Structure 1
Amino acid sequence: MSRPIWDSVPVSSPAVDALHDLARLPGVDDGVTAAREACTQLRWHQALRRRIPEAAAESRVRGAAASALLEGAEPAGSRGSVDLVRDLVRGAVGWDERENDPVWHVLAGVVRATAATEHLGPDRLRSPGQVLAGLHAAAAGDLLPMTQVGRPRVAGETCAEWAELGPAPEPGEAHERLALVHELLSAVPAGRVPALLVAAVVHAEIVTVRPFVLGNGVVARAVERVVLRAGGLDPTGVAVPEVGHADRAGADYRGAVSAYATGSADGVRLWLLHCAEAVERAASEGTRIADAVLAGRLPR
């Protein structure tokens, strides 16, 4: 596996400076600007003047359904995934309804991790290790032995996820690159970094490095949601970034992650452009939610 592109940045240059270098890749600044404008339009939607919690809750429902789809966890049955997730969240369906179904356990973990993002604001990002541990516990608590929950891999442990990216890095390398993720996340509350680029890089690093034995994609998408809100790009939390990635059955998403994993400038650029476009689509989905809130069409 190739090293990340910022390995070419001088060691004395902080990771946050490297982000600004990435912003100068062709087309990236325009993509970030378009995504920011889309999120600004969503922020001032009439429905969000007084009903942000309702719209944000629906965003988490749709986001969890899309994240589960990307994880390959789409339960069989007559109900759509969004309706099923909504019923889980509101208690109309029990968490142990299909206790012996592994797909159900993955879905439940995705829903728990996405729901947990509601309580992760800027202050919590000052302790990024705790944020990642909590999200991993939510995502994989029912899928792994407790000794492997909420912590990065150690010597002798590997990860079978995202096999198309090649073997997961050894735990030593994973810990080094996870330290970079921590540095970027802890910089978000100070406003020193562009939220979209942090969200994109952190997302891709977690998926590429696979620091956890299981659940890396779920954690990565949940962290992205947190950063977009805590970093001020989507302060209402109504945009649905997971839907932005899941469009076209997620083919573009997996291809863009694979491009990032090469470590080349072109690969990283492709991923950043994908993420900028995904945020635009996320804002569009958020607008559909806000429209439904305004019209009183959301299921209760």
Structure 2
Amino acid sequence: MTSPALAALADLARTPGVAEGIETARQACTELRWHQALRRRIPEAAAESRVRGAAASAMLEGAEPAGSQRSADLVRDLVRGALPWDERDEDPVWRVLAGVVRATSATEHVGAAQLRAPAQVLASLHTAAAGELLPMAQVGRPRAAGEECREWTELGQAPGPKEVAERLALVHELVAAVPAGSVPVLLVAAVVHAELVTARPFVLGNGVVARAMERAVLRVGGLDPTGVAVPEVGHADRAGSDYRGAITAYASGGREGVRLWLLHCAESVTRAAAEGTRVADAVLAGRLEGR
């Protein structure tokens, strides 16, 4: 028997324009999947996807290090060990960037078995994202009474612990259903992403965790089975203004606001596949920057 939450998700797929957007995104991801470079070099392409995804996610956090070196090059150097993780520990921007890289990299180890225990996945992603930014007592768990979140203040005051618990229960139910293949993967990824941002269950790092979880759901759910699409880049287009606007629309609570967010996510996955194609092209040509 389908739960009310899953039934509501299926109903969202029938709102105007959403089904068409999902189908366009599916076709784009299918084309990427059969790219010539991915016949034998998926690990290399997926690793570069995580590099570009982490750089885009950091940009959305406002964590773009000063200097002439691009964020993607810094991320690539971190991942391949050419730059120590504590290179600039005194720089708060650097510490956020390093946390984003750790969280995005951690998605590589999320599979179907892990998604059946979504609370543990969220805890591990948050530990990766914020383990160096918060006291250990606040890492890997939802906010307790009296703990505030000062992220996404344009959405209003963050919900209290009771509402957070209720919304996390919805997130857990949706994520746990992904391995069964009974729900539209893109919609699950979109709603989970939006709920984590708007509910702000953690003291810090909610957006980073939301984008990392979206990446994992899209891959494990089979929409992007190679993990080469770059959903973070899809959200970061136009300096992230569309992304923040769409999240704000979702937070309004109205059906139209939710529809706008879903349309944004469908379009962002299409753009993610396009960026994944650029990654695959670069792998095929042997011209990944920094290598």
Q: TM-score, normalised by structure 1?
A: 0.95
**Once the two structures are superposed, what CA deviation does each residue of 1:8-27 show, in whole Å capped at 9, x if it has no partner?**
xxxx9521111101101110
Is 1:294 the counterpart of 2:277 in the alignment? Answer: no
Q: Which residue of 1 aligns with 2:146?
A: 156
Q: Which residue of 2 aligns with 1:73?
A: 63
Between the two proteins, the alignment pairs up a number of residues equal to 289
Partner SS, residue 189 of structure 1: helix
CA distance in 1, matches of 2:20, 2:288: 34
Q: Which residue of 1 aligns with 2:5?
A: 15
Q: Which residue of 1 aligns with 2:36?
A: 46
What amino acid is the match of 2:154? E
**Once the two structures are superposed, what CA deviation does each residue of 1:40-67 show, in whole Å capped at 9, x if it has no partner?**
0000000000000000000000000000
CA distance in 2, matches of 1:77, 1:142: 23
CA distance in 2, matches of 1:82, 1:256: 25
Partner SS, residue 146 of structure 2: coil
Q: What are the residue-to-residue correspondences of 1:137-286 with 2, within 5 Å?
A: 137-286=127-276
CA distance in 2, matches of 1:47, 1:107: 29
Q: Which residue of 2 aligns with 1:4?
A: none
CA distance in 2, matches of 1:210, 1:158: 9
Post-superposition offset of 1:78? 1.6
CA distance in 2, matches of 1:288, 1:158: 40
Q: 2:117 aligns with which of 105, 111, 127?
A: 127
CA distance in 2, matches of 1:215, 1:261: 18
Q: Which residue of 2 aligns with 1:94?
A: 84
Partner SS, residue 179 of structure 2: coil
CA distance in 2, matches of 1:175, 1:109: 25
Q: Which residue of 2 aligns with 1:3?
A: none
CA distance in 2, matches of 1:135, 1:211: 13
Q: Which residue of 1 aligns with 2:97?
A: 107
Moved more, 229-238 or 151-160: 151-160
CA distance in 2, matches of 1:222, 1:15: 22
What amino acid is the match of 1:178? L
CA distance in 1, matches of 2:3, 2:53: 35
CA distance in 1, matches of 2:288, 2:146: 48
**Once the two structures are superposed, what CA deviation does each residue of 1:168-220 show, in whole Å capped at 9, x if it has no partner?**
00111011100000000000000011110000000000000000000000000
Q: TM-score, normalised by structure 2?
A: 0.98
* Unaligned ranges ≥5, structure 2: none
Post-superposition offset of 1:289? 0.5
CA distance in 1, matches of 2:119, 2:175: 9
What amino acid is the match of 2:228? V
CA distance in 1, matches of 2:145, 2:209: 21
Identity %: 79
CA distance in 2, matches of 1:18, 1:122: 23
